[in-house]
Structure 1
Amino acid sequence: MEGRSQWGTRAGFVLAAIGSAVGLGNIWRFPAVAYENGGGAFFIPYLFALLTAGIPILIMEFTMGHKYRGSAPLTYRRMTKKAEGIGWWAVAVAFVIATYYSVIIAWAISYSYFSINLSWGEDTEGFLFGDYLHLADVPGQMGSLVPGVFFPLIIVWIIVLGVLIRGVKRGIEIANRIMIPTLVIVFLIVVIRAVTLPGALTGLDAFFKPDFTQILSPHVWVAAYGQIFFSLSIAFAIMITYSSYLPKKSDITNNAFITGFSNSGFELLAGIGVFAILGFMATSQGVGIDEVVAGGVGLAFVVFPAIINEFPAFNEFFGLLFFLSLVLAGLTSLISIVETFVAGVAEKFNISRTKSVLFGGGLAAILSIIFATQGGLYFLDAADYFINQFGVAALGLVEVILIAWILRKLGLFKNHANEISDIKLGSWWTISLAVITPIVLGWMMIDLLRLNIMRGFDTETGNYEGYSNMFIMWGGWAVAIGALVIGIVFSLIKWRSNTSAKEETEDISNVNN
């Protein structure tokens, strides 16, 4: 087994953590969520969620990785052998996300090329689903490979696996030192151009105008916590793995605050850029902002190409910059996602990083081809919904309950962080993790189940997006449950490495330490 890798500098770690947190969701999810949940007033519950869940969990996971010096499975094992399965469950969730996240980046690469001559034409929706994706008529039909997705997907995996083979210091750190500043510069250019467009102020007014009546709704607060939770890359092995490469003397708390506020700052920047452009579109079409607001795939690959068509000048250039920003944001996040199972496999089976990258990353690359077929968008939609709602959210709830209430490690972690950090943790941190976060995550899960029960009355099949029972079973539930099963199975496999034996695992009976 190779010696444990380490970040070259503190800035390298911070940039990598920011690179993991700043992803596609910052650009295409946050603006729509904020607008739909009170506009400017949404920033109140959003900031509260950041300070009572986002940053506290970041600090906890940074401390876990730093203290136990291992991937997520090894970190949980060193807390107690009985918890190793949670680490593998998190790794399995990351693995699933990597398989389809890579395909979205491939789309962004294709659209960067399409931007050169605005190949998507006037009917951007028809182009995406017809000319580009050749979308199958029925969900569940795989169909043939789509060359326009498959070949960019190969490029994505060559970049990601190439970076990871080079290691933490010479690969991940250098890649983020290049990509994150480039992303910020590219997106700043897009935003500056956006706010100078006719109608931009109309869009910004819609984005920032506060509707304080909405913040009295529990749904808005759940939306705020959900955005923070899914945006910061917490609860599925990434931050534990990254922090395990920190030197022994590292300011954990300060790093967490920098990461959290940098991620939120980019989300705010994305909101300004997106709504300035949406304001331009609404004005040019003579309609209200509410008629052009969209999120997710529709915003990035349907609405934005349509808007770029209407730019008064330099359409191709700004189209290229926008999709390049998606590529960069996606790559930095995908690198961190894949690193979680590369590290776990290398430690568990005592193999080199190169072999682990080729095995773990290679397997993810092969499975991602499913999403590069004509039926890929349907599989992506189902897998994304179920793995995020019933994987990441459930993992977060299990994680905080295990550490705060079962193992009672918050005091130990607080002392560890305070010994090496300038910002000292107090009762705010403990109350946030022991009380506020479990209540909110528990409510989120209950609300999710309620929505799925209600959906049974709103759709013909009673399933998400009205998909058939068979497709939901194999494309959704099997994926979410399979990640949990894989976590249990891997925890039962005997360690082939001496890594876990170098430090005695803490017995579950020592829960009061």
Structure 2
Amino acid sequence: MDKVEQFSSRWALLLATVGMAIGAGNIWRFPRLAGQYGGAFLVPWVIFLILWSIPLLMVEFSLGKETRKGPVGAFAAFLGKNYTWMGAFVAICTMAIMFYYSVVTGWALKYFVAGVSGDLLGGVDHDAYWRQFTTANTSPIYYHLISLLVASGIIYQGVVNGIERANRILLPALLALLLVGTVRSLTLPNAAEGLNYLFGFHGASLTDPAMWLEALSQSAWSTGAGWGLVLTYSVYMRQKDDITLNAFITGFGNNSASLIAALAIIPAIFSLTGSSQEAIQALQAGNQGLSFIVIPQLFNKLPGAQILIAIFFLALFFAALSSLIAMLELATRMFMDFGLSRKRALPLVALLGAVMGIPSAYSMDFFNNQDWVWGMGLILSGSFFTFAVIKKGVAQFREKYLLVAHNDIQVGVWYNWVMKFLIPVEAACLLFWWFYRTWDATGWWHLTSIYSLGTCLWQWGGLILVLVLLNKQLYRLVTQER
């Protein structure tokens, strides 16, 4: 079995974890939600960073550092044989996201190429351009494969020469691109109107439960808490490295990038649309609609549109790629824990990702279904991490991992209450709310429906059943001496 590599420094680890957290959702989902709810949205968004994301990130840092294994091996080592299947669910859920996330990365790459070549300039019908690109077209498959190949090439080089070196380039470059976009956005006429909307606070909005649940969803999905990705990177952290402050830096680093992205997008949209109402409608165009239709349309109104469009989609590509690298490493680490070397595990994972991503690249309906099922599945993954801590004893967990001398922050007793009571309630509320929003009394059980309760339960249930049946075999794979 390969010797476990280590990041060369604490900051190398943080560049990787922050790069993992900053993804497409920071650029296309957060500005949309901030545009929908205004400045009041920032309040629950920060609250849930403290009361969901950072506590779970601490769990992942702790398990990865303690066990030196990916999710399957970590759950086996931490909880014992009977719960190995939970770690496998976490790993496969994130792998399922990887299968279509490489498609998103490919979209960003395609639009960067189109921006550089000038294909998105002039009188282009951007809605038709997007539909032609994504509807029964083989072009997204090629870009999906290219993105996966780029990420695989980085993973193949290992932790220091691959992941660490790539994030030393990707994250600073991404932040530089976002800052360039922010400066241009803030210097546009009437940009102050967008700033006032983004940071304007209306107390009455805080009584809207939908806003709180959207904020919890955004924090849960955007930070990567509960995905097993931070756990995977923590396998390679040095023994003397901190857990608690690293979790805070990862969480707040992710939120800072989201705010920078919002500053690059929202003032520009308010400046380039005819009225505040039109700006808000543009921001609510949906994740893909905002990024691939609305923003190219609006940037065409500016001098230097070709450069601005290229910068935006290069930033989106870098953000997506840094997250894709983490997902690919999680899958590779899982097979390495099964006994394969990195050089044998990676081609298997890359081939699996290439094949399994093709349906999402070819069909938007399939893409949307997988995004719904496994995006919701991440709430279960976070719940499994919470269960692991509760079963071992929250107070004992905090004392062993979070109160050690080399941690820069000594976590208080509030952590016990959050893990034992609050996060389980948050997870239950999230699941109930999202299923309620998509409830269809006449077809909730349809397996083929894109957004039904039935399609989630069938796919989750099938996976859990298989993993429970294979639990003993999985445990043997990750624990036997080689």
Q: Is the 8 A contact 2:140 2:361 kept in 1?
A: yes
Query: 1:468 and 1:63 mapped to 2: Cα distance?
Result: 39
The 3-state SS of whatever aligns with 1:223 is helix
Q: Is the 8 A contact 1:7 1:247 kept in 2?
A: yes
Equivalent residue runs for 1:30-429 within 5 Å: 30-37=30-37, 39-79=38-78, 80-120=80-120, 121-130=123-132, 132-133=133-134, 135-136=135-136, 146-283=137-274, 288-294=278-284, 295-311=286-302, 313-348=303-338, 350-373=339-362, 376-389=363-376, 391-404=377-390, 406-419=391-404, 420-429=406-415
Q: Is the 8 A contact 1:106 1:149 kept in 2?
A: yes
Percent same amino acid among aligned pairs? 25
Query: 1:410 and 1:161 mapped to 2: Cα distance?
Result: 40
**Alpha-carbon offset, residue 225 of structure 1:** 1.5
Query: 1:469 and 1:53 mapped to 2: Cα distance?
Result: 30
Query: 1:163 and 1:423 mapped to 2: Cα distance?
Result: 33
**Alpha-carbon offset, residue 94 of structure 1:** 1.0
- CA 1:434–1:156: 2 relative to 1, 3 Å: same
Q: Is the 8 A contact 2:76 2:475 kept in 1?
A: no
Query: 2:72 and 2:260 mapped to 1: Cα distance?
Result: 35
Give the counterpart letter for 1:21 in structure 2.
A
Aligned match for 2:434, one of 444, 448, 453: 448
**Alpha-carbon offset, residue 250 of structure 1:** 1.0
Q: Is the 8 A contact 1:252 1:417 kept in 2?
A: yes
Q: Is the 8 A contact 2:394 2:419 kept in 1?
A: no
Query: 2:229 and 2:158 mapped to 1: Cα distance?
Result: 15
Query: 2:353 and 2:97 mapped to 1: Cα distance?
Result: 9
Give the counterpart letter for 1:78 in structure 2.
A
Query: 1:186 and 1:330 mapped to 2: Cα distance?
Result: 14
Query: 1:286 and 1:226 mapped to 2: Cα distance?
Result: 26
- CA 1:492–1:250: 2 relative to 1, 3 Å: same
Give the counterpart letter for 2:464 in structure 1.
L
The TM-score with structure 1 as length reference comes to 0.87
Query: 1:471 and 1:450 mapped to 2: Cα distance?
Result: 11
**Alpha-carbon offset, residue 75 of structure 1:** 0.7
- CA 1:410–1:126: 2 relative to 1, 3 Å: farther
- CA 1:55–1:476: 2 relative to 1, 3 Å: closer
Q: Is the 8 A contact 1:108 1:326 kept in 2?
A: yes
**Alpha-carbon offset, residue 63 of structure 1:** 0.8
Unaligned 5+ segments in structure 1 are 137-145, 503-513
* Equivalent residue, structure 2, for 1:500: 479
Deviations 1:217-261 (A, max 9, x none): 332222221111111111121111111211111111111111111
The TM-score with structure 2 as length reference comes to 0.93
What is the RMSD of the two structures over their aligned residues, measured on CA atoms? 2.4
* Equivalent residue, structure 1, for 2:425: 439
Give the counterpart letter for 1:62 in structure 2.
F
**Alpha-carbon offset, residue 323 of structure 1:** 0.2
**Alpha-carbon offset, residue 401 of structure 1:** 3.0
Q: Is the 8 A contact 1:107 1:152 kept in 2?
A: yes
**Alpha-carbon offset, residue 469 of structure 1:** 4.3
| Residues matched between the structures, number | 477
Give the counterpart letter for 2:321 in structure 1.
L
- CA 1:368–1:199: 2 relative to 1, 3 Å: same
- CA 1:362–1:204: 2 relative to 1, 3 Å: same
Q: Is the 8 A contact 1:183 1:329 kept in 2?
A: yes
**More divergent stretch after superposition (186-195 vs 416-425):** 416-425
- CA 1:484–1:304: 2 relative to 1, 3 Å: farther
The 3-state SS of whatever aligns with 2:314 is helix
Deviations 1:268-288 (A, max 9, x none): 1111111012112323x7853
Query: 2:454 and 2:149 mapped to 1: Cα distance?
Result: 29
Q: Is the 8 A contact 2:156 2:343 kept in 1?
A: yes
**Alpha-carbon offset, residue 298 of structure 1:** 0.7
* Equivalent residue, structure 1, for 2:4: 4
* Equivalent residue, structure 2, for 1:140: none
- CA 1:189–1:298: 2 relative to 1, 3 Å: same
**Alpha-carbon offset, residue 163 of structure 1:** 0.9
Q: Is the 8 A contact 1:92 1:486 kept in 2?
A: no
**Alpha-carbon offset, residue 476 of structure 1:** 5.8
The 3-state SS of whatever aligns with 2:203 is coil
The 3-state SS of whatever aligns with 1:288 is helix
**More divergent stretch after superposition (332-341 vs 200-209):** 200-209
The 3-state SS of whatever aligns with 2:107 is helix
Query: 2:127 and 2:316 mapped to 1: Cα distance?
Result: 19
Q: Is the 8 A contact 2:36 2:280 kept in 1?
A: no
**Alpha-carbon offset, residue 477 of structure 1:** 5.5
Query: 1:321 and 1:331 mapped to 2: Cα distance?
Result: 15
Deviations 1:279-309 (A, max 9, x none): 12323x7853222223311111111111121
Query: 1:353 and 1:410 mapped to 2: Cα distance?
Result: 37
- CA 1:470–1:421: 2 relative to 1, 3 Å: closer
Q: Is the 8 A contact 2:35 2:280 kept in 1?
A: no
**Alpha-carbon offset, residue 501 of structure 1:** 5.1
- CA 1:189–1:469: 2 relative to 1, 3 Å: closer
Query: 1:302 and 1:470 mapped to 2: Cα distance?
Result: 23
Q: Is the 8 A contact 1:66 1:243 kept in 2?
A: yes
Unaligned 5+ segments in structure 2 are none
**Alpha-carbon offset, residue 473 of structure 1:** 9.4
**More divergent stretch after superposition (206-215 vs 470-479):** 470-479
Deviations 1:159-180 (A, max 9, x none): 1111111111111111111100
**Alpha-carbon offset, residue 439 of structure 1:** 1.3
